[in-house]
Amino acid sequence: MIRLTLSVALTLGIPALAHAQPAKSVKVTVLSTMLAGNPNGGIGEWGFAALIEVDGRRLLVDTGARPETVLQNAAELKVDLSDVTDLVLTHNHLDHTGGLVALRQELSKKNPRALSRAHVGRGIFSPRPAPDGSDGNGLSRFKAAYEGLGGVFTEHSGPVEILPGVWLTGPVPRVHPERNWGGVGQVKTADGLVDDTIPEDSSIVIATPEGLVVVSGCGHAGMINTLEYARKVAGGTPVLAAIGGFHLFAASDAALQWTAGRLRAAGLRHLLGAHCTGLDAVYRLRSLLALPRESAVVGAVGSTFTLGKGIDPLLLAR
């Protein structure tokens, strides 16, 4: 059996990114989301995955929903994932974990170390009992197969540096009462069954000279909880860019106005809202924040954010 390791935050709470060397080059490429950005440039699905490249090192965040989507999209976008050794799974849901086994199986043919280390937040494997008695945890069904292919899960309880200058938040504290998740499922804990708020939800934080780049899978912990926690970890640094899913597609206008106010206070300059962020929510936040069109767009397969250049939305949102 492959052993799970548990990282623990420093005794005083949070290790500060403020003392880390800021990244000189950052590029984030969306590999799974609902929309395709260019003709013959990938396929859309209800899911999320993104490749992060920082100072020559690479990290995959989530694996999409269907087994072959990320593999196919990467091939069509001419993105080689075989040299990516580490990945992050932001939470247990199937639309973020469905490609895990297929990716490891296929890419390991070229490089045995490809996607061999999976970083996850504490509690991601907790059982989610379904009405029929089965486990509704979207990742548990793939755990044995991934480990059987030589993959190792590392479970983190707090912020941890995954690559130089690239941090995983670990489970994000819920300071504000954002309810950025759907349904009313339950999760089994040491205290019994409780409402499933997706407590393991984690995001990526990259410190740059221009501010923080935050990449989220779904932001079930709350967009503002996530970004404010990232800023706390980084010593109050403004947020340069928020990229990925933030589960705002069903948010009320009052909630979006509150969110925009907090984003303004955080100094947000770029929003690439993919997956469950929602189309209307992106456009509403763009208006509320008075961001130019090129700085707040709906994410598509192949769309990118590059430090110093901003967002390339491709044809769909140009």
Would residue 270 count as lying in a domain?
yes
Q: Give me the pLDDT at residue 40, please.
A: 85
Q: Give me the pLDDT at residue 132, please.
A: 87
Q: Give me the pLDDT at residue 11, please.
A: 32
Would residue 193 count as lying in a domain?
yes
pLDDT, tens digit only, all 318 positions of the chain:
333 334 434 433 566 676 678 999 999 999 999 999 999 899 999 999 999 999 999 999 999 999 999 999 999 999 999 999 999 999 999 999 999 999 999 999 999 999 999 999 999 999 999 888 889 999 999 999 999 999 999 999 999 999 999 999 999 999 999 999 988 799 999 889 999 999 999 999 999 999 999 999 999 999 999 999 999 989 889 999 999 999 999 999 999 999 999 999 999 999 999 999 999 999 999 999 999 999 999 999 999 999 999 999 999 877
Would residue 12 count as lying in a domain?
no
Would residue 56 count as lying in a domain?
yes
Question: Rounded to 5 degrees, what are φ and ψ at 241?
Answer: -145, 140
Q: Give me the pLDDT at residue 184, please.
A: 72
Would residue 134 count as lying in a domain?
yes
Would residue 68 count as lying in a domain?
yes
Would residue 205 count as lying in a domain?
yes
Q: Can you give the CATH number for the domain in which 163 is found?
A: 3.60.15.10
Residue type, 42: G
Three-state secondary structure string covering 68-80: CHHHHHHHHCCCC
CA–CA distance from 252 to each of 164, 171, 243, 255 (Å)? Answer: 38, 25, 21, 5
Q: How many domains in the chain?
A: 1
Would residue 6 count as lying in a domain?
no
- Domain range enclosing 244: 23-312
Q: Does residue 317 come out as left (phi exceeding 0), alpha (psi in the -120 to 50 range) or beta?
A: alpha
Indicate whether this model's pTM tops 0.85.
yes
Q: Give me the pLDDT at residue 318, please.
A: 76
